[in-house]
């Protein structure tokens, strides 16, 4: 089942020079391919839509500030079961709970600065791809 997922390499990934390593891991998954990729500093309005489900939670404001604090790498990845696969590659939200071998497990230690976002369902992927890459066919 070929799918598309929206991936953001968060500002900590860019600041720490980890984007090449992370993109490499994604590219090496058999049959997956990048169909969009851009280095971009995100507007607050885009982040408010992207993280709308978290409005009112204690971590929401610091999360939006962090995500606007520097450029991110925004990508669309296409391939077999890519939504589930990217969540596995990323590891769970808390990097300390993430297994070594996952991106968050290998490089993260702070919940907010957990390196990567990947869409969590087909519905989210569709909404997020429209938000970040409205022109993508
Ligand atoms: P996900 O990115 O693993 O799908 P979500 O629950 O959708 O996790 O949370 C979005 C982002 O908000 C997380 O990736 C992380 O950066 C941040 N976040 C989530 N929970 C917390 C928290 O308890 N403290 C600080 N930041 C958090």
Does 3.30.70.141 match the CATH number of domain 2-132?
Answer: yes
Average pLDDT over all residues of the chain: 98
Q: Is the distance from the beta carbon of residue 120 to the nearest atom of ligand 1 less than 6 Å?
A: yes
For 3, the 3-state DSSP assignment is strand
Active site residue 50: no
For 102, the 3-state DSSP assignment is strand
What b/e readout covers 24-35, taking b as 16+ CB neighbours within 10 angstroms?
A: ebbeebeebeee
87-112 pLDDT, tens per residue?
999 999 999 999 999 999 999 999 99
Q: How far is CA 116 from CA 50, 76, 83, 135, in A?
A: 14, 13, 13, 23
Find out whether 44 is annotated in a ligand binding site.
Answer: no
Count of alpha carbons within 13 Å of 50, Cβ hemisphere only? 23
Do the Cβ atoms of 26 and 9 come closer than 8 Å? no
Find out whether 4 is annotated in a ligand binding site.
Answer: no
Of residues 94, 10, 104, the one with CA closest to residue 51: 10
Find out whether 104 is annotated in a ligand binding site.
Answer: yes
6-16 pLDDT, tens per residue?
999 999 999 99
CA of 51 to the centre of ligand 1 (A): 9
Rounded to two decimals, the pTM is 0.98
**Residue ranges of domains in the chain:** 2-132
Query: Could you say which of 11, 12, 113, 117 is catalytic?
Result: 117
């Amino acid at each position: 089942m070929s799918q598309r997922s929206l991936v953001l390499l968060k500002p900590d990934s860019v600041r720490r020079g980890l984007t090449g390593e992370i993109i490499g891991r994604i590219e090496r998954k058999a049959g997956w391919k990048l169909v969009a990729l851009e280095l971009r500093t995100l507007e607050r309005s885009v982040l408010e839509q992207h993280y709308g489900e978290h409005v009112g939670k204690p971590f929401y404001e610091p999360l939006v500030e962090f995500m606007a604090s520097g450029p991110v790498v925004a990508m669309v990845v296409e391939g077999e079961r890519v939504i589930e696969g990217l969540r596995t590659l990323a590891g769970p939200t808390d990097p300390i709970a993430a297994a070594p071998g996952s991106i968050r497990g290998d490089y993260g230690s702070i919940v907010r600065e957990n390196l990567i976002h990947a869409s969590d369902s087909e519905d989210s992927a569709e909404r997020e791809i429209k938000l970040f890459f409205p022109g993508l066919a």
